[in-house]
Amino acid sequence: MTQHTGRCTCGAIQITATGEPKSVGICHCMDCRKHHGAVFYAAATFDPSDVTIKGETAHYKNRHFCPTCGSSVFATSDGEVEIHLGILDEPNQFTPTYELWTDRREDWLPNLANTQKHKRDRSES
Query: Which residues form the interface with Zn ion (CB under 5 A)?
Result: 8, 10, 12, 27, 29, 32, 66, 68-69
How far apart (Å, rounded) are the C-alpha atoms in residues 22 and 47?
Answer: 8
What's phi and psi for 77, nearest 5 deg?
A: -160, 140
Smallest gap from Cβ 11 to Zn ion, in A, equals 6
46 vs 99 by CB, closer to Zn ion: 99
Task: Give min distance, CB of 1 to Zn ion, in A.
Answer: 26
Of the pair 8, 44, the CB lying nearest Zn ion is at 8
Residue 1 vs 37, nearer CB to Zn ion: 37
Alpha-carbon span 105 to 74, nearest angstrom: 21
Rounded to a whole number of angstroms, the minimum distance from the CB of residue 48 to Zn ion is 19
- Count CA within 13 A, CB hemisphere, residue 87: 31
d(CA 116, CA 25): 9
Provide, rounded to whole angstroms, the least separation between the CB of residue 114 and Zn ion. 20
- The DSSP call for residue 30 is H
Give the nearer residue to Zn ion in terms of CB position, either 19 or 39. 39
